[in-house]
Structure formats: C-alpha cells, structure tokens
Homo-oligomer: A and B are copies of this chain.
Amino acid sequence: MPTSDNFELKDVELPPLGDGQVRLRNLWLSVDPYMRGRMNDVKSYVPPFQVGQPMEGGAIGEVVESKAEGFAVGDLVSHMAGWRDEAVVDARTAQTLPDLGAPPEYFLGILGVTGLTAYFGLLDAASAAEGDIVFVSAAAGAVGSAVVQIAKAKGMTVIGSAGGADKCEFVRSLGADEVIDYKAGPVVKSLMAAAPKGIDVYFDNVGGDHLDAALATARQNARFAMCGMIEGYNTGEPTTLRYIMRVVAMRIRMQGFIYTDYMGRLGEFYQDMGAMIASGQVTGRETVMDGLDSTLEAFRGLFTGANTGKMLVRL
C-alpha cells in the first residue's frame, strides 16, 4: 500500500520553452491502479517510475504558452505529464481534445484510457455481443462502471459486483440487471444465484475469488477479458482457484489485454463512444478530489474503494 513516505511534493523551476514545446496549466489529473505496478522495480508493460523523478500520468491541461505549430494558448490537451500543476512538454506528446461535445475530464475517464480499456476489453478481448450474459467485477470502479454502461447499450445482460450497499446501489443506477455485494458473502454463491443460467463473458478487474466464481459459472465457450487484478497489486499473494479445470470442459478463453493494444482503433472508439455519450446511454462517472495536495489521497483511495467511477483530481 503506497504511503506518504513514497512521495514528495516539490517546487521545481520549469525551463523556458524550446521549439516544438508547450507550457500547460493542468486542470485535471488522473490516478490509476496501473501506477501502483510502476512503483515496483520490475519489468512490465510500462517501465517502472524512477525515484526522484516526477510521477507521470494522464492529465488534461490548458496551453498557456506555445512554441509548437497547431497549439494555441487556450487549447485543451491531454498528455502524460501528470501529478503537477504546470508542465513543459514536447507538443508531439500532447493531443488536442477531439470535439465530441463532452466535458474535458471525460478524456481522462470514459473517453480516455478507462473507456478504451472497457470498450475494447469487452467487445474485442471478450468478443461480447448482444444477448450475452456479462459478469463485471469492480463494477463501481472506473473501468467497471464503463463496462456496465457499454454492455447495456449493446443489448447484453449485466451482473455487476461491488462492495457494500452504496456501491451496489450505484451499479444498479448504471443499469446493471443484477448486483452482487461481494462483502455480503462468497462471490461464487452470489453469482450462481444472480446468474442461474451461467455467464458468457467475464470482465476481470480483480482476480482472486471473483475470477474463481466466473470460472465456476462460465457457460460453454465463455470468454474472459483479463484486465487487471487489483487484489494482488499490493499484497503479492498467490491466487487460489478451485474451478480452473472448467477452462477445459467449458472451452473457456481467457484473454489478457492492455488498452495500448488498441491505440490504432482510437477513431472507431471516439465515434462509437461519442455516439453513446451523445444519446445519453453512457455518461462519465467520476469521484473528484480537489487540489494537487489531495493526489496521494486520491491514489491511495483506489485501493481502499474510496471511488465510484473514475477517480480524478481537479486543480
């Protein structure tokens, strides 16, 4: 579990702009579970953070000075130099926000990495389609709450899992057909009751006993999108599975994926998600904390269940 000892808030003098650079005033910062992985000094799909260097991370900023073609003062951009109130970046690492009629913070959530992960995980990694029975763990979380909404918009039956009555109520408000409170009893038992016919798709955000419950209830040719196992990020505990043998008999497909695999399909994503947002079928759900000082608290909150929807810091 990250603590304040792992971080330092530091005043730094930013350099004058070089050619092709922009100065950004950050408006919104993203905190994400994958950042916890980057705090371990191990080889993974993104390199580890370097001690003493500023934390990278998704952010939305306003251009306050520009020496880059195509970037004007006042433009809103998304970029990766997060966890600071001002940044100087090469303009080629920043993207001006496409005009989809959505609020800028959506590009850190439902129209950003979160939405991309939910969209392609569900529809590509798990090949989910209309009529499927979909089980989503951490359904009150950033990715999970997007998965629930996309699945409903696409005509699927959705069972979401969350911890506690408030979060379950939130998941129900997203349109889920059934909600499981994983704190109220064994997940496998609750899922069997909520999905008596079994499940076709599992969107895994947590691993552990949720994964085992999905294995236990999977129907033939079920597909699992393996997105992240937040349960193991801090504990490092091994996973015990009673039902892994069902992979064979039920011809289950488990597919790991990372949103970066789908960057080439960003246009398709903006088009389809933009339409679902415009029609009101999907809306950004956020938990917002205010001020750069609150960033660490927001980050830690990801691992204690402090957020419903996407956790954001507003500057």
Contact = CB atoms under 8 A, between A and B. Distances in A.
Interface in A230-263: 232, 238-242, 244-258, 261
A256 B251 contact: yes
A229 interface: yes
Place the interface of chain A in its size category: 20 to 34
A228 B227 CA distance: 25
A254 B247 contact: yes
A255 B253 contact: yes
Contacts of A255: 251-254
Contact of A238 (B226, B227, B241, B251): B241
A256 B247 CA distance: 5
Given A239-B241, A240-B238, A240-B239, A256 B248 contact: yes
Interface in A191-248: 207, 211, 226-229, 232, 238-242, 244-248
A250 B255 CA distance: 10
Nearest to A222: B256
Interface string A162-186: 0000000000000000000000000
Residue of A229, A242, A254, A257 with most chain B CB atoms under a 10 A cut-off? A254
A238 B208 CA distance: 12
Nearest to A241: B239
B250 A256 contact: yes
A227 B248 contact: yes
Contacts of A248: 226-229, 256-258
Given A240-B239, A244-B239, A253 B251 contact: no
A267 B16 CA distance: 71
Contacts of A249: 44-45, 256, 258
Contacts of A244: 207, 211, 229, 239, 241
9 contacts: A226-B248, A227-B248, A228-B248, A247-B254, A251-B256, A251-B261, A253-B255, A253-B256, A254-B254
